[in-house]
Structure formats: C-alpha cells, structure tokens
Amino acid sequence: MKLNPDTLPAQLRERLLPAYLISGDEPLLAGEAADALRAAARAVGFSEREVHFPERAADWDQVRGAARSLSLFAARRLIEIRLATARPGTAGNAALIELLGARDPDTLYLILTPRLDREAQSAEWVRAVEAQGAWVQVWPVDAARLPAWLRARARQLGLEASDAAFELLAARTEGNLLAAHQELMRLALLGAAEDGPGSGAQSAAAGGQVSAATVRSSVADSARFDVFQLGEAVLDGSAVRALRVLAGLRAEGTEATLALWALTRALHDVWNALASPPGAARGWQRRGAALERALKRAPRLDFGALTTRAARADRMIKGRLAGNAWDELTLLVAEMCAMPVPAAPPRTLAAVS
C-alpha cells in the first residue's frame, strides 16, 4: 500500500498495519508522519519502543536479535529502524525481508529512510513493506503549492492572514518547511494583528489578521533552494523566481558549476523537446509541465546566443575568461526567460592573456 502524509491519518484510524516505511527528504513532514504512527501505536498497546541505526552488516544481527527477544514486560513493541541511506545493503535487505516475514502481531516496524530513487524503490525489502504494510512517500511542497499549504497550517493554528501575506511568507520560506511552520506558530502566538492602516501596531491577541506588511517586518528570509529548482524555474519562464533562486544558491555557497549544469541541462531539454514528436513524454509531471511552457517561449529564444553565454560562464568558472561567473549566469537566466539583455561581447575582447 502506498500512502502520503495527508492520507496516513485516515489509514491509521482504520487499522494498524504490521510495518510502515516513511521515505523522503522533508524533515518536518516525515517527522510528523512518524509521530502520527507512534501515537496510533501507543493507543493500541504498543507501549515499548526500540530505535536502531544499522550501518554495518553486524548491526543487522543486533536488529534481528532484538526482534526475536521477548519484551521485558511482555508488552507490544514498536521497532524503529532509521537508515542513513536509501540502500541498506545485502545484509540489510535480507534482514528486513526476514523480519517482515515473521508476522509477529506484537511487533510493529517503522522504517525511516531518505528519498528512494527509482532503483531503490524496486528493492525486495521495499516490495515486502508494500505487500504487508504501507509505504509513506514524503515529497517537498513546491513553490506553487506552498501558499495553500501555509493557509491550511494557519487554519489549524487559528491564524488568519491575507493572500498577500501567504504569498510573501511562501517566498521567504520556500524550500524550508520547518522554518515556515515555526514562523506560523510564532505569528499565532504573537497574534500579529495590525490595529489599522499605517499604524504598524500589533496586538497580542492570538488568531489576529496577518498582513503582508506584518510578514515583511517580522519574518526573515529563510528560503532554501537547490539547483533542480533553478532548472525548473527557467523552464517555467518566471524570471523573478529564477533570478531569486539563483541569488539564493549564490548566497548559500553553491558552486557556480552546479548552477551552470542546471541551466545547460534545462537548455538541452528544450532543444531536445523541439526535435521530438508532438505528444512525446516530457519527464516527470511538474518538470514536464514547465517544459511545455518553455516550448511555447522557444521561438523567442536565440539558442546560439544562449550557448555562447553558457560557454562564457564556463570559461569564467575555470579562470580562462575575465569576469564574474555568477553575473554571467544571471544574464543567462534572464535570456532563458526571454528577457532582453545586452549581447555577450566577442570572446577575444575578454579573454585572459
């Protein structure tokens, strides 16, 4: 059975399965899903909890031993296995299949892992969990869904806010759900309500109306980005967002080489999609939708100029051309979003002697 953090609570109310796998790289949502399972387990008598961090083959023998041993107080147990990687290895794969096959009604398994890639998803132990229990896949909340996610969380906290406030809060916490949740809780506790236009005063009553001005003055920029978001943003054609993601990557100390890789990959995707037949698969759903929008913008793109700009950035990164690579990447992002920018100078004018 496959679940997600939204469908897990309903399934737990219906019945408790022998095993649960929670995978994903979003700590807040994965942690909340695990907490919900632990609470449901305690409610039906799983009063003991054991936590294991297996890394070596010998560690799996300890997990087996713990599962076979009787509880000190003959209580029902939750055995929690936290994997540092999505691949437990040959020993881990065999141990997990053995443990899941034992079908002990007094033992419940909770397995926590980072995101599982396509190869890891086909592992035997993952299929065993799906067959006997549930696999809860935790996905990041993307920029398009973040305002709605914030609105739902605010409603749970009894906090009201304007649409503009949610949009600004989303921009300042994108890619960092933990910070977003903490800011909502802080705003709810402070009551962050304005007394009137231009007053700037805030009341201490909880559940107050939060405006964009309140968010702007009280919420720090905690957004976190990765290079995949950069590629998606330029495909989508949102110049403001793409430039913000690029600036965020630069501020976080991301290597310029990785940013260039994401941009050239997006450029190659558009070029290859232009040559592919209509209706061909465009990759996974969200990136595929962004690529479709890029194809509509493609007639306005000068691929020769874009390639030249990318090559200039590459030479700057390698120290073979004078200039700042991040500035060149900024111009490349703008060009890929069909914004007018100054043409790149001839190569010979800026070459390092």
Number of domains in the chain: 3
Q: What is the 3-state secondary structure (H, E, C) of the chain?
A: CEECCCCHHHHHHHCCCCEEEEECCCHHHHHHHHHHHHHHHHHCCCCEEEEECCCCHHHHHHHHHHHHCCCCCCCCEEEEEECCCCCCHHHHHHHHHHHHHHCCCCEEEEEEECCCCHHHHCCHHHHHHHHHCEEEECCCCCCCCHHHHHHHHHHHCCCEECHHHHHHHHHHHCCCHHHHHHHHHHHHHHCCEECCCCCCCEECCCCCEECHHHHHHHCCCCCCCCHHHHHHHHHHCCHHHHHHHHHHHHHCCCCHHHHHHHHHHHHHHHHHHHHCCCCCCCCCHHHHHHHHHHHHHHHHCCHHHHHHHHHHHHHHHCCCECCCHHHHHHHHHHHHCCCCCCCCCCHHHHECC
Q: b/e per residue, 105-137, with b = 16+ CB within 10 A? A: eebbbbbbbbbbeeebeebebbebbeeebbbbb
Mean pLDDT over all residues of the chain? Answer: 83
The answer to whether residues 255 and 341 belong to one domain is: yes
CA–CA gap between residue 130 and residue 21 (Å, rounded): 8
The answer to whether residues 272 and 307 belong to one domain is: yes
End position of a domain, from candidates 137, 169, 190: 137
Mean pLDDT over 153-179 rounds to 86
The model's pLDDT over 20-55, given as tens digits with 9 standing for 90+, comes to 999 998 889 999 999 999 999 999 999 888 899 998
The model's pLDDT over 198-235, given as tens digits with 9 standing for 90+, comes to 444 343 333 457 778 878 777 767 677 888 888 888 88
Task: Check if the beta carbon of residue 85 is closer than 8 Å to that of residue 53.
Answer: no
End position of a domain, from candidates 162, 189, 218: 218
The answer to whether residues 209 and 237 belong to one domain is: no
Q: Tell whether the model's pLDDT for residue 191 goes beyond 90.
A: no
CATH number for position 211: 1.10.8.60
End position of a domain, from candidates 104, 137, 170: 137
The answer to whether residues 214 and 238 belong to one domain is: no
Mean pLDDT over 254-269 rounds to 92
CA–CA gap between residue 326 and residue 344 (Å, rounded): 14
CA–CA gap between residue 333 and residue 278 (Å, rounded): 26
CATH number for position 252: 1.20.272.10
Residue 261 CB-half CA count within 13 A: 8
CA–CA gap between residue 68 and residue 77 (Å, rounded): 11
Check residue 9 and give its pLDDT: 93
Check residue 239 and give its pLDDT: 86
The answer to whether residues 214 and 241 belong to one domain is: no
Check residue 112 and give its pLDDT: 95
Check residue 281 and give its pLDDT: 47
The answer to whether residues 152 and 72 belong to one domain is: no
Domain residue limits at 125: 2-137
The model's pLDDT over 109-140, given as tens digits with 9 standing for 90+, comes to 999 999 988 888 888 999 999 998 999 999 88
The answer to whether residues 123 and 6 belong to one domain is: yes
The answer to whether residues 157 and 79 belong to one domain is: no
The model's pLDDT over 61-99, given as tens digits with 9 standing for 90+, comes to 888 888 887 655 557 889 999 998 888 888 888 999 988
The answer to whether residues 165 and 200 belong to one domain is: yes
The answer to whether residues 249 and 277 belong to one domain is: yes
